[in-house]
Structure formats: C-alpha cells, structure tokens
Structure 1
Amino acid sequence: CSCYYIANKIVASHITQCLHSLLHVLQARNRMEPDRPIGYGAFGVVWSVTDPRDGRKVALKKMPNVFQNLVSCKRVFRELRMLCFFKHDNVLSALDILQPPQIDCFEEIYVITELMQSDLHKVIVSPQPLTTDHIKVFLYQILRGLKYLHSAGILHRDIKPGNLLVNSNCLLKICDFGLARVEEPDPSRHMTQEVVTQYYRAPEVLMGSRHYGSAIDVWSVGCIFAELLGRRILFQAQSPIQQLDLITDLLGTPPLSAMASACEGARAHILRGPHKPPSLSVLYMLSDGATHEAVHLLCRMLVFDPAKRISGSDALSHPYLDEGRLRYHTCMCQCCYSVPSGRVYTRDFEPPADRNFSHSYDNSLLSVWQGKELIHHFITEHQQGKRVPLCINPQSAAFKTFIR
C-alpha cells in the first residue's frame, strides 16, 4: 500500500532527536520515560514512549493545568471518561492511565493510547499521490467512527485532518476529544460557538446559532472529503465572515428557512449582499477522482441547512463508499477474520455504540477540589485488577523536556 511510504516518509521528516529510554523498576512500579514529541494540541502534548512492561511503543498524552478552574476540570474529566468509554476500531481510546500521586500533589494527568504513525493533514500536504481507493477507505473509516460517536450521543466538534490519525496500513482513528461534548436535545439550551477549526466550521456555527447538533461534524467531514480530492483546503478564509462568504460563493445564497437559527447580524450580512446562484459544478474540477458519485455525496454533506444535511449513518449507505467498505473489511478491520475456507464477515459493518455516554456528573461538580477528588478516584478505580501500574520517572532528561 502506498500509504506505507507516505506515513513513514512524513514521520521521518518530522522526528526530532530521539532520547534514549531508560527502564526503571521501583517498588513494583514501572517508570515510563518519553522518547520523542509527536504532537501538540490546545489542551496537551503527546509523546511517543516505550511501555516498560512489554517494550511496546505507545503514545503518552499529558493533560496539564487540569485544576486551574472548574470549567477546565469538567472538560478534562469528560475527555478522560470518553477515552475510557470508547471501544471502536476507528476511534482512539485509552489503553491505560498513569498512576496519580497523592491527591495533594495531583496536578496533571497522563493517558496512554495506541501510537499512530501520522495524521491525515500530513498525508494530504505530502507530494505522494492519493488514489481513489485511498480516499474511499479513509472516508469510510471517518464516517464509521463518526456514526459510533453520534450513536453514543457525542459531538466531536473539532473534526479536521490533524485529528484523524493514520497508520502505514491506512487504518484511521478519530482523536482529540478536548472539545467533544454530549449532544444537547433541548434547543433552548445554549451551546458555545468557540468550536471547530475555522476552515471546517459549519455555516450554522459561523452564523452564531446558539444550538446545533451532529450535523456540524458531517459538514467538517465534507470539507475533508473535498480536501482529499483536491489536495487543498476547500474554504480557506482569513476570518469567519470571509469563511461564510466563501461558502455562499459555492452553495449560493441560502433561503431564509436555512437561516432560522442564525443571529441577526449574520442574517443581515447575507441578505444585504448580492444574490448568489450555486456553483457546485466547480467541485468536478477538484481532481480526476471527483466523479459523479463523489460529487453527489459531497453535495449531500455540504448543505447549508443542517436539517437537510445528510447524517453520518446515511452517508455510509452511499454507493460511493461500497468499495471502501469492501476493502476495509477484506483486509484491514478487526471485526472480520479469515479461515481456511474463506473470509468470515461480521453481521454489522458499522456498529453503533452499545449505550449512550453519560454526562450526569457535569451538574454535580461544584468545586475544583471536588473535581480533583472525583478524577483521582476515577483513575484509581480504573486501574483496579489491571497490570502493574505505571508512573513517570521525573529525574530523566526526557521528562524534563516533556514538562517544558
């Protein structure tokens, strides 16, 4: 698979100087040391590390400044519980959590996840050609993971190529749930607009809607789909207003019914401008891979009105993804397996979550100290009955670089 070349070339070009990992055992507790940095985000830093218990390379995410305020405390606890809740091939989950210190010294959290080799952004900007097969299998996995999240009642709220991790065998996992939250069924409950990286932000968020749903993630996937086809960002603007203008240049001026939830200022901006007809035919010029089927699915995702936008579950049924589904379940997935007589396929190719993610604790957290106690108890309880717990070696040079 040519993605093996892509991923390894990209990873090699971004590796910093490797730090030698030293394994220490102290009072039956293994000490873990960072090897090299692999990513930085708004709410943490990720390093490649070696698990001293089995020598396996894994990713270690540091969640700093957890207990600065109550909002941060709730956000980190939500992300931590989500990572432990997820059980899906296309969604990153927690393999382990490092043993916390005594509660008085407890200030940051370290989560171990599977180590992936690259991300979709690095693949897209690389010079390596992307075939139609690559695009189909990537898009299939994104939507497969998204269906799982939405069926659990979770909005990711920051789907973008950098948050889609890929391996050399083209396996893809959705990651970074720092902005994720449970979908709010009550339309009177206001939700923040400070979500989603601007280039992938849905029109309803750009127009100041105080309530939105899972359709914002589908819009982001549509933008990524177009980026995979054209190898460039579809709506690359300098400001949210310009972002909205680029969207209307493509989709045309939306009807009033599509702007029902927009704020007055955004609605006035659209209405005082000239009427724009849709120009969707330009999508066929993204690349040779922009076939009629591809553009049809893309147009179902990039719909201005979120009520008329296709759902992630329905998008999986589109004929464009039939080949991606076949390729994934023939040689990539863990839900199907081979026997001497042939391939045994699972009954449900895109399984939903077996239950909704619970967020009942949100309203019960009233103070930072209460949150610290709750998170400390959650991590300790999570480790019960598992392998020898891990902790950081604070004396290593690698760790001193890590905390900086």
Structure 2
Amino acid sequence: MSVSMSLVQGGAAGGAPQGASAILAAAAPYYQPPAVPQDVQPDRPIGYGAFGVVWAVTDPRDGRRVALKKLPNVFQSLVSSKRVFRELKMLCFFKHENVLSALDILQPPHLDFFQEIYVITELLQSDLHKIIVSPQHLSADHIKVFLYQILRGLKYLHSARILHRDIKPGNLLVNSNCVLKICDFGLARVEEPDQAKHMTQEVVTQYYRAPEILMGARHYSSAVDVWSVGCIFGELLGRRILFQAQNPVQQLELITELLGTPTMEDMRHACEGARTHMLRRAPKPPSFSVLYTLSSHATHEAVHLLCQMLVFDPDKRISVTDALAHPYLDEGRLRYHSCMCKCCFTTSAGMRQYTADFEPSAGQPFDDLWERKLTSVQQVKEEMHKFIAEQLQTGRVPLCINPQSAAFKSFASSTVAHPSELPPSPHQWE
C-alpha cells in the first residue's frame, strides 16, 4: 500500500530566477550558472521560528529549490550568540534522514560587518501542523509512518545527547511522499548530567510541555521530548490538540484530568509550590478510556503506547528506544523501509535489500565543551566566522546574498516569531 499523500503545495523544484529577482547569488567571480528551465518560482517566506526566518529560494548553481534560514542579530549578547553557534554546529553535525541538516552556509562578510547567519537546508513541502488541521485524510498507516519517523529521528538526537526541547507539529517538516524531518534547533541543548545544575524552564511550546517543567523542575532529561511526542501522537489520532489550555496552570489541570492526580513520588521533580498546589485540589482518578474516543484509529495498541509516553513521572516515561520497539510501530517501520528510506535499496532483480540498523544512533555525542571556552561575544564572533570558513572549504562554488534582489529587501526586514508564538514563560509557583 502506498503511503504517499497530497500535501500543501510548495517546495517543488523549479528554474533558477535570473537577474535581480534572486536572493541568492554565486560568490565566485565569472561564475556561469548552468542552463535551467524557465518555470521560475519566486523567492518567498515560508516560516518564522523562535530565532529565525525561513524563505524558499532557488540555488543558482543548480536550480534546486532550497530553504534559506536567516539567523538575525546574532551578537546581541553572549547567551544569544552561543545559542546560535550551537544551532549552527548542530545543523552541520547532523547526518540522519529524519533530522534536518545544513546543506550549505552563505559566505559571511568581513568580520567587522558580520552580524547575521544564512543557512541553506533541504526544502520540504509542508509540516505536520498544516497536515493535522487540513481536510487531508490521515489513515492509520499515515499515523504509524509519521510517528515512527519522529521517534527514529529523536533516537538519533538523544543518542548524540541532544535535547530538542521544542518538539511540536510545526517543527516536523513533511514532504509529499510522507518523509518527515525534525527541524528548528533554536532551543536545543546537550543533556546536563549534573542534576544540581539548573536548566531553563522557558522551553517547549505550552501545549507540548511536560508536567515536570510545568511544575517548576529545575532539571530535566530527554523525557521532556518523549512527552511532546506523546502529545503529538494524540493529536494525530484526534486531529485536535490533546491538552489545549490558556496558561500553564490550566495546562496541568487538563493533564491531571486524563492521568489522574499524581502521587508525591511522581512529583518529586516538582518545586514545593507546585506540589502544594496539587495537594490542595480534590484528588482525581485517571480516565485513560477517554483516549479510545479520539478516533477509530485509537486501537488498544495505539492507546497502550500513548499511555506509556504520557506518564507524569519522567523516570517512568518510556524511552525513545523502547517506544520504537513497541508492536504498534511494526507496520510503520516496514512501510518506511519498504519504499521511503534511503538506507535500504532495491536491486536490479527487484529484491529489497534492508539495512542492518533500522534506527541508527549517532556515531558520537555532540560536543559542547567549546561553549565553556567562549567568554565574550567577540570570541564567539571570531570562532563562528572561522567555523563557517572551514565549512565552505568543500570545493563547491560558495553562495552569497544578492543585495540587488527585489525580494531581498523583504527578506532582510523579516523578523522572528511574534512573542505569542514563542514558548510562554512557566508559572511562578513560589
């Protein structure tokens, strides 16, 4: 059975725009672009993330449509500059089918004029949020294939010791053939092994935020990403947001209506004020049977896996690796590797040759030790400029911005997401 879908248009390959209409230009002198078809698609905005703006543009070197992400105002503070450098290094580090990675970085100006970063990535046609809210039919097979790919990509990230910290449907890009890639690593960071060290709570869009963060936990683990995936799984089944509240306290109320009142043991990661709030309220029993009413796709196997993801205590929440071993995902794995992946192939005789490792881990953990050595904005600026120059030493003609482009004026003035689109601040329990 085919798993292809008709998705929101955009991202199809087109010819390279000519003259001043193109945002991108080849930086090498006397470079002659190849002859390409003239069915030109305009450069246009396609997304506004927490820390960047994304446009669909055409690579003048080959006429391929790609995504161009602008990371503006990089060097406003030490924290923001190190965060951007971390995201840039991650995008260059990633090598996985279900995780978006950098295809190229635009040639930066001289260090004195270096203020923003432009990264080129693969252009996908839609995202999971657009698909969920569309009238597009979602079969049980679609849900299994999507969930399998989310977990497959997340296993890779977690094996590299990376917490995404903003898993939501809008950060899951999808192509018309249903291939899915996790994107937007503006809030991602490396795991913190020292539980005594505090981690920021202003992460994860509220609807997908794990209860330990809602309850003021100062330290958390990769389990926060698993909770987010559980919320998305429920959203795929029901075609509506699973826990849609107006504020963090109400968010917690909706969670306890489904899971029941947590025990003191379940709340050991929470701050004292949050525990006191929960104990003041009348105890509620769990109501997992409600999950069966999400849709006809909410089978026993589906609900069983969902309940293991939506566990109040992060230490008892299922891991990504164990979730991938759940029988509910067997069909999703088979469909993905039968016709969608690049790790398996079909021989000339028509036989499918499967990879030895269906869900590969990262070859090595992502290194963030360099962050500790950078103690000033100027240091970060110099190291980032050097890093980009090293990435450009590939023998390929480098790209730069074409300031004469008609579209560039609009692109240059594009801003990041509105405050309402950013992860809201957590409730102050004390």
Q: TM-score, normalised by structure 1?
A: 0.95
4+ runs deviating over 6 angstroms: 29-34
Give CA deviations for 1:360-387 in whole Å, capped at 9, x if unaligned.
0111111111110000000001111330
Where 2:184 maps in the other structure, the secondary structure is coil
Give 1:272 deviation, angstroms.
0.3
Give 1:28 deviation, angstroms.
2.2
Match for 1:372: what amino acid?
A: K
Query: Percent identity over the alignment?
Result: 73
Give 1:27 deviation, angstroms.
4.8
Match for 2:406: what amino acid?
A: A
Q: Is the 8 A contact 2:126 2:173 kept in 1?
A: yes
Where 1:58 maps in the other structure, the secondary structure is strand
2:79 to 71, 83, 94: 71
* Aligned match of 2:356: 347
Give CA deviations for 1:11-42 in whole Å, capped at 9, x if unaligned.
89xxxxxx943875565276999711110112
Q: Is the 8 A contact 1:29 1:391 kept in 2?
A: no
Match for 1:225: what amino acid?
A: F
Q: 1:274 to 1:395 in 2, by over 3 A?
A: same
Asked whether 1:152 is paired with 2:153, we answer no
* Aligned match of 1:7: 8
Aligned pairs (5 A) from 1:377-388: 377-388=386-397
Q: 1:393 to 1:30 in 2, by over 3 A?
A: farther
* Aligned match of 1:282: 290
Q: Is the 8 A contact 1:283 1:295 kept in 2?
A: yes
Q: CA–CA distance in 2 between the matches of 1:360 and 1:209? A: 25
Q: Is the 8 A contact 1:158 1:180 kept in 2?
A: yes
1:222 to 230, 235, 238: 230
Q: 1:24 to 1:269 in 2, by over 3 A?
A: closer
Q: 1:71 to 1:41 in 2, by over 3 A?
A: same
Match for 2:207: what amino acid?
A: Y
Q: CA–CA distance in 1 between the matches of 2:51 and 2:59? A: 23
Q: What CA RMSD, in Å, does the superposition of the two structures yield over aligned residues?
A: 1.9
Q: CA–CA distance in 1 between the matches of 2:28 and 2:278? A: 66
1:250 to 258, 262, 269: 258
Where 2:46 maps in the other structure, the secondary structure is strand
* Aligned match of 1:391: 400
Where 2:115 maps in the other structure, the secondary structure is coil
Q: Is the 8 A contact 1:93 1:113 kept in 2?
A: yes
Match for 1:354: what amino acid?
A: G
* Aligned match of 2:277: 269
Q: Is the 8 A contact 2:22 2:402 kept in 1?
A: no
1:183 to 191, 206, 209: 191
Q: 1:385 to 1:194 in 2, by over 3 A?
A: same
Q: 1:215 to 1:25 in 2, by over 3 A?
A: closer
Asked whether 1:194 is paired with 2:195, we answer no
Q: CA–CA distance in 2 between the matches of 1:84 and 1:203? A: 32
Give 1:5 deviation, angstroms.
1.6
Q: Is the 8 A contact 1:47 1:59 kept in 2?
A: yes
Q: 1:52 to 1:371 in 2, by over 3 A?
A: same
* Aligned match of 1:16: none
Q: 1:159 to 1:23 in 2, by over 3 A?
A: closer
Give 1:6 deviation, angstroms.
2.6
Aligned pairs (5 A) from 1:46-61: 46-61=54-69
Q: CA–CA distance in 1 between the matches of 2:3 and 2:407? A: 33
Q: CA–CA distance in 2 between the matches of 1:381 and 1:30? A: 21
Q: CA–CA distance in 1 between the matches of 2:248 and 2:265? A: 21
Give 1:93 deviation, angstroms.
0.1
Larger helix proportion of the pair: 1
Match for 1:344: what amino acid?
A: Q
Give CA deviations for 1:286-305 in whole Å, capped at 9, x if unaligned.
00000000000000000000
* Aligned match of 2:170: 162
Q: CA–CA distance in 2 between the matches of 1:23 and 1:295? A: 47
Aligned pairs (5 A) from 1:92-103: 92-103=100-111
* Aligned match of 1:237: 245
* Aligned match of 1:21: 22
Q: Is the 8 A contact 1:29 1:390 kept in 2?
A: no
Give CA deviations for 1:222-279 in whole Å, capped at 9, x if unaligned.
0000000000000000000000000000000001011112111111111000000000
Give 1:340 deviation, angstroms.
2.9
Q: TM-score, normalised by structure 2?
A: 0.89
* Aligned match of 1:113: 121
Unaligned runs of 5+ in 1: 13-18
Q: 1:359 to 1:26 in 2, by over 3 A?
A: closer
Give CA deviations for 1:292-339 in whole Å, capped at 9, x if unaligned.
000000000000000000000110000000000000000000000000
Q: Is the 8 A contact 1:201 1:216 kept in 2?
A: yes
Asked whether 1:360 is paired with 2:361, we answer no
* Aligned match of 1:309: 317
* Aligned match of 1:15: none
Q: CA–CA distance in 1 between the matches of 2:24 and 2:121? A: 19
Q: CA–CA distance in 2 between the matches of 1:209 and 1:29? A: 57
Where 2:278 maps in the other structure, the secondary structure is helix
Q: Is the 8 A contact 1:30 1:391 kept in 2?
A: no
Q: How many residues align?
A: 397
| Higher RCO (CA-CA < 8 Å; seq separation 6+) | 2
Q: Is the 8 A contact 1:61 1:112 kept in 2?
A: yes
Q: Is the 8 A contact 1:44 1:61 kept in 2?
A: yes
